[in-house]
Amino acid sequence: MIMISKNKPVIVVGAGPVGLCLTLALTQAGLPVTLIESSPEETFLDQVPRAGSNHPPTLEMFARIGLYEKIEPRGLKAPIFHYWERQGHQLIAAFDHVHLKDDTAFPFVLQCERIKIVEEAMKMARADPLCTLMMGTTFQSFEQSGDSVTAMAVGPDGKVIDIKGRYIVSAEGARSIIRHQLGIEFEGFTYPDRTLNIEVSYDFKGKGYTDRNYISDPGEWSNLFHWAGPPEVWRVHFPTKPEEDPDELTKPKALQERMRRFLEIDEAFNIRGSNLYTVHQRVAAKFRAGNALLVGDACHVNSPIGGMGMNSGIHDAFNLAEKLIAISRGEADDSVLDRYERQRRQIAIQHTQAQTVRNKRILAETDPAVRLKNHEELKRSADDPALARAFMLRASLINSLREAESIL
Ligand SMILES: Cc1cc2nc3c(=O)[nH]c(=O)nc-3n(C[C@H](O)[C@H](O)[C@H](O)COP(=O)(O)OP(=O)(O)OC[C@H]3O[C@@H](n4cnc5c(N)ncnc54)[C@H](O)[C@@H]3O)c2cc1C
């Protein structure tokens, strides 16, 4: 039996949503965890807005660790999402999660931002006697031999600390030092254009939009999402050109003009924030090297269209937790961790990557005939209950989890 103990805990690097969920899933099963986070306590919640669409199976996982009840009051239940054609402001299709009522206890998306999720999960981790939380501690490198690992990190006082453990998990996000140190390729590509995110308070429902909208346009596609307050905001994503100057793109005047063009209304918008981000489509060549494992953005990154990055990272966390728990209880040997890699890597490539690339292509398609065909297909899928369920099983990642179970 492989011992995971107070002296040899699982070391989790990174208290993002994935690292925190992994930590809670392990500690609640009796496994000690040392969680290392570089942000200091005081600034931990000062992070740019990112993920926020939480799909049904992710909500089921949150419920298992007691996190769902904490975030539900802070979010917004969105059972429906829309596809729009921007030209002529036409609603192409409305997909309703009601078609998943026999597949999940949560037939809706919970719009709840990453930052609220980590805030609530962090409170739980802090109160957990099996979690040793090291805030303001920056992981730098690690060594492994036999059945142990040693992580080297710089603590809040600037001193280097050695942290011993049985396994080390990189939940450090896309710039994972562990992935770099292991020389694991991050295979894929980066889109040359950046995406502009504008946060605005406005009555989009008065324009017919629902809480989650994908808006197709050959010149300027966008996504429009609603977030619970206070302050209540909507986030709109727009493509930009690679050669455009980032400073010019985010000037207040440029943001106002873009919103006016988008809504075809000449008024001053209450813009609350903006940021630009680069989109990568990459999957690590390996998710495991001995006692070191990768989860979440550390091993896969993708376009946010479809809201799959954080969701699939959390699915990694729960998959890995189940295996580490089985190992510590003597119900499985170490080789089960290779199955973690086989399952989650295949899902990252064949589901998350394939679908997010496709989502962007559909929104940005320029060929009028292909656009028409895509829109007809979406409409047909939304209007037929069996096709709608099949579509929603893919979009909500339920299918990806079912397929993962079939990978030995
Ligand atoms: C605009 C935008 C919108 C998005 N929308 C969605 C969405 O709707 N749905 C969705 O599923 N996904 C979405 N995503 C993707 C999502 O944000 C990420 O997939 C998710 O945050 C990854 O979680 P993570 O825990 O793996 O990594 P991160 O969230 O990046 O967290 C990593 C943590 O590790 C810490 N860390 C890093 N290096 C070190 C170190 N050396 N030592 C110690 N700590 C360290 C960091 O401080 C951080 O706390 C979106 C992304 C963007 C950019």
Q: What is the pLDDT of residues 180-204, one digit of tens each?
A: 999 999 999 999 989 999 999 999 9
Q: Residue 329: exposed, middle, or buried by beta-carbon count in 10 A (0-12, 13-18, 19+)?
A: middle
Ligand 1 atom nearest residue 19's Cα: 25
Retrieve residue 304's tokens: 């946010």
Structural domain that includes position 302: 10-77+110-186+281-364
Residue 352 in domain: yes
How many Å separate Cα 216 from the centre of its chain?
A: 22
Round to whole Å and give the CA distance between 122 and 23: 10
Q: What are phi and psi of 217, to 5 degrees?
A: -165, 135
Number of domains in the chain: 1
Spell out which residues line ligand 1, taking CB within 6 angstroms.
13-19, 36-39, 50-53, 114, 138-139, 171-173, 177, 197, 277, 296-297, 304, 307-311, 313
Please report whether residue 272 resides in a domain: no
368-383 helix and 385-395 helix, angle to the nearest 10 degrees:
110
Which residue from 209, 399, 197 is spatially nearest to 308, judged by alpha carbons? 399
Would you say residue 114 lies in a domain?
A: yes
Output the residue whose Cα is nearest ligand 1's atom 20. 310
In a domain, 228, yes or no: no
What are the residue ranges in the chain where pLDDT is below 70? 1-2
Asked if residue 32 is part of any domain, the answer here is: yes
Task: Report the pLDDT value the prediction gives residue 2, as an integer from 0 to 100.
Answer: 64
312 lies in a domain? yes
Helix (H), strand (E), coil (C) string for 21-80: HHHHHHHCCCCCEEEECCCCHHHCCCCCCCCCEECHHHHHHHHHCCCHHHHHHHCEEECE
> Quick check: pTM over 0.85?
yes
Pick the residue whose CA is nearest to atom 29 on ligand 1.
Answer: 16
Q: Could you tell me the distance, in angstroms and rounded to a whole number, from the CA of residue 85 to the centre of ligand 1?
A: 30
Q: Which residues, at least 6 apart from 392, have a Cβ–Cβ distance to it below 8 Å?
A: 95, 97, 99, 100, 398
Q: 288 to each of 14, 199, 308, how far by Cα in Å?
A: 17, 38, 22
Please, which residues have CB within 8 angstroms of residue 330's CB and are 6 or more apart in sequence? 1, 2
Rounded to the nearest angstrom, the distance between the alpha carbon of 22 and the centre of ligand 1 is 14
Q: What is the pLDDT of residue 259?
A: 97
- Cα of 243 vs centre of ligand 1, distance in Å, is 26
Contact 18, 171 (CB under 8 A): yes
- Measure Cα distances from 23 to 126, 320, 351 in Å: 11, 11, 25
CA-138 nearest atom, ligand 1: 42
- Residue 215: which residues within 8 A CB-CB, separation 6 or more? 83, 84, 85, 86, 221, 222, 223, 224, 363
- Looking at residue 1, its pLDDT comes to 59
Tokens 């107070």 belong to 6
Phi-psi region of 384 (alpha: psi -120 to 50; beta: other; left: phi over 0): beta
Nearest CA to 306 out of 81, 106, 85, 116 is that of 81
Q: Is residue 333 within 8 Å of residue 386, measured between CB atoms?
A: no
| Best CA proximity match to 244, nearest among 278, 281, 221 | 278
What CATH number is given to the structural domain containing 339? Answer: 3.50.50.60
Q: Which atom of ligand 1 is nearest to the CA of 137?
A: 43
Ligand 1, from 41, 50, 294, 351: best to mutate by most atoms within 8 Å of Cβ?
50
Q: Which residue's CA is the nearest one to ligand 1's atom 52?
A: 50
Q: Is residue 253 part of a domain?
A: no
Q: Is 7 exposed, middle or buried (0-12, 13-18, 19+ CB in 10 A)?
A: exposed
Q: Give the pLDDT confidence score for residue 25 in this predicted structure.
A: 98
Q: Which atom of ligand 1 is nearest to the CA of 153?
A: 42
Per-residue confidence (pLDDT) for residue 46, from 0 to 100:
86
Phi, psi torsion values for 160, nearest 5 degrees: -80, 135
Q: Is residue 374 part of a domain?
A: no
